[in-house]
Amino acid sequence: MAPLLRMTSVVRAVCLVLGLGGCVGGGAEVESSVRGVQQGQELGEVPQVAVAEDLDPSDGVVRVRLVAERDEDGPFGVQYTYNGMSPGPTIRATRGDVVEVELVNALDAPTTIHWHGLHVPFDMDGVTWMGAPVQPGETFTYRFTVDQVGTYWYHPHFDTARQVDAGLYGAFVVESPDEPEVDADLVFVADSLDEHRGGDRHVAAGHGRNVRRWEVNGVEDGVVRVQGGQLVRARFVNVANHGYLYLNWDGDIEHIASDQGLLPSLQTPDHIGLGPGDRADVVWRVGEEGFDVWTEAYSLNGGLTYRDPIRLFRVEVDAPAPAPAMPDWPFSGLEPTPDPGYADIVYAFSGSDRTGTWRINGEAFPDVTIESFPAGEPRIIEVRNLSPSEHPFHIHGMGFEVLSVNGEAPAYYTYEDTWNLAIRDIVRLRVDSANRGDWMTHCHILEHAEDGMMTVLRVE
Ligand code: C2O
Ligand code: CU
């Protein structure tokens, strides 16, 4: 598909290179477009979010402070921030690092931080199942070792739908010394703007299902500048409460990593679906041409809709040059585990937008039956979606392999922590974890989880 925007005059503001190639300042004028952009509209730059400062780089522990506070003058109204920013600072660590995050609660409400996708010890998981949240004025220090690699994120797990909607989230990147160096490692945190963002204006289940506006790193429909000849790793995180991304751009999609790090092999899908909570890493081998990054309009009530696609941002190439070669990624080459055809644990998802009632096995958190399995013994979980809504299924504290979707094995080995169930889907998953604890297991549509679509999976 041809690019839908043509540059007329480009305001070439000085491009400050932030860290590994992010860019702020300036803007670009566009002549016309579809995807919701007005004639001649100035496009702001999509900044790279600042990387959290390591408060004491001398001792090998990544030590970060996050202050959660209320901001009356956010770009989209009242919002909650970490260190004055939404998204909060990106936390970057290397596999094997000890990470210590001091949460300072300067909000007028209790809060916590959950490390989405990271297999942290149970008492560091930021949940309030058998524990108290961090009260206003208090601090709490989370400490854990990261022994995974990939793109994760952090967010509160107390009054979660409202606090995440209000802006409390950030990316958490774990690098691996085994993966090839890139010229720019960019993080794109995408949130929907149709979710009544604002600490006071959260609207509960059943509203705003058609997401029409998105922001990326706090900017709606901006510009990302890259250099021709660069190898760019782009990490996408969907932090929306219920908005789905169905990502696409002009040119090939080279998909290298998903929720839990590198895929078993390079994938070249025709789009990437990201439900709430999901992540994907792709590679852009930048040549001469810019391109639009957009999402098809997608509704949790049944997938693609007739609405126009929504542009997330435009990628502009400074100093066009031939595209670089693809480096060698240390893909595992793993094959999918065969589905054994039975399940040890079954979770049936039911509910309805009419009633706003969302259940797992007919139960509402916290009045739930706790399923359990012994540490280190694999188990098969079947998740059935019986409701007229899609649900991104998420388990804390461990990853899971997807064995089958409606009886069919996935095309390649698929290891995730968040997996979307389309309407009527039946998926079988394999868990195998030695991480003891009472792990929240829930739908990542936060309004659904809040209403009760959340249970506990115990590793004993
Ligand atoms: Cu993003 Cu219970 O988590
Ligand atoms: Cu749901």
Q: Give the pLDDT confidence of 171-212 residue by residue, as tens digits.
A: 999 999 999 999 999 999 999 987 764 444 344 444 446 678
Atom 3, ligand 1: which residue's CA is nearest? 116
Which tops the pLDDT comparison, 148 or 33? 148
C-alpha of residue 40 to centroid of ligand 2, in Å: 39
Nearest residue (by CA) to ligand 1, atom 1, is 116
Is a pLDDT exceeding 60 seen at residue 407? yes
Q: Element (H or E) spanning 450, and its range?
A: helix 446-451
pLDDT at 38 over 90: no
Work out which ligand 1 atom sits closest to the CA atom of 116.
1
Indicate which atom in ligand 1 lies nearest the CA of residue 153: 1
Give the per-residue pLDDT at 356. 85
Q: Which atom of ligand 1 is nearest to the CA of 418?
A: 1
Q: In this structure, which amino acid lies at residue 60?
A: G
Cα 435 to Cα 151, 213, 236, 383, 453, distances in angstroms: 20, 39, 27, 21, 23
Average pLDDT, whole number, for the chain? Answer: 89
**What residues line ligand 1, using a CB cutoff of 6 Å?**
114, 116, 155, 157, 277, 394, 396, 440, 442, 444
- pLDDT of 18 reads 33
Q: Which atom of ligand 1 is nearest to the CA of 442?
A: 2
* The two structure tokens encoding residue 77: 């109204």
Residues with CB under 5 A from ligand 2 (ion): 391, 443, 445, 448
What separation in Å is there between the alpha carbon of 402 and the centre of ligand 2? 18
Per residue in 427-458, pLDDT (tens digit) is: 999 999 999 999 999 999 999 999 999 999 99
- pLDDT the model gives residue 196: 60
pLDDT band at 406 (very low <50, low <70, confident <90, very high): very high
Distance 157 CA to ligand 1 centre (A): 7
Q: What is the pLDDT of residues 324-338, one digit of tens each?
A: 999 999 999 999 999
Q: Which atom from ligand 1 is nearest to the alpha carbon of 155?
A: 1
Measured CA to CA, the distance from residue 348 to residue 388 in angstroms comes to 13
Buried b (16+ CB within 10 A) or exposed e, 63-73: bbbbbbbbbee
In terms of Cβ atoms closer than 10 Å to its own Cβ (0-12, 13-18, 19+), residue 19 is middle
Which residues, other chains included, contact 332 with Cβ-Cβ below 8 Å and sequence gap of 6+? 262, 264, 413
The answer for residues whose C-beta is within 8 angstroms of residue 149's C-beta and 6 or more apart is 95, 174, 175, 176, 179, 261, 262
Give pLDDT, residue 19.
32
- pLDDT digit string, tens, across residues 220-253: 999 999 999 999 999 999 999 999 999 999 999 9
Task: Point out the ligand nearest to the CA of residue 420.
Answer: 2
| 376-390: pLDDT as tens digits | 999 999 999 999 999
Q: Please indicate whether residue 27 or residue 291 has the higher confidence score (pLDDT).
A: 291
SS3 59: helix
- pLDDT, tens digit (0-9, with 9 covering 90-100), for 291-311: 999 999 998 988 898 889 999
Cβ atoms of 295 and 245 within 8 Å: the answer is yes
* Distance from Cα 276 to the centre of ligand 1, integer Å: 10
